[in-house]
Amino acid sequence: MDWRKFITIEPGKRSGKPTIRGLRIAVQDVLEYLAGGMTPEEIVKDFPELTLDDIRACLSFAADRDRRLMV
């Protein structure tokens, strides 16, 4: 998945944190929900502006970021 189609970084939004499609929902928020035990379906139910592809993009972003840190 190409997370670049879903994740945006804007200096004036959420202090420049990566967000989903310019919304005020940060990638970090979604990752913390997942780490806390929420399923992707539960996250989408609580935040109807999100899609399952948005959740997958967050995971892809995190994996790519981790991969770049290892190089």
Share of the chain above pLDDT 90, in %: 85
pLDDT (0 to 100) of residue 68 = 77
Q: Domain 3-70, CATH 3.40.50.40 — does that match? A: no
**Total-model pTM:** 0.88
Cα separation, 17 vs 70, in Å, equals 21
pLDDT (0 to 100) of residue 31 = 98
pLDDT (0 to 100) of residue 53 = 98
Q: Do residues 29 and 40 make contact, with C-beta atoms less than 8 angstroms apart?
A: no
pLDDT beyond 70 at 58: yes
Q: What is the mean pLDDT of residues 3-14?
A: 93
Cα separation, 30 vs 58, in Å, equals 7
pLDDT beyond 80 at 69: no
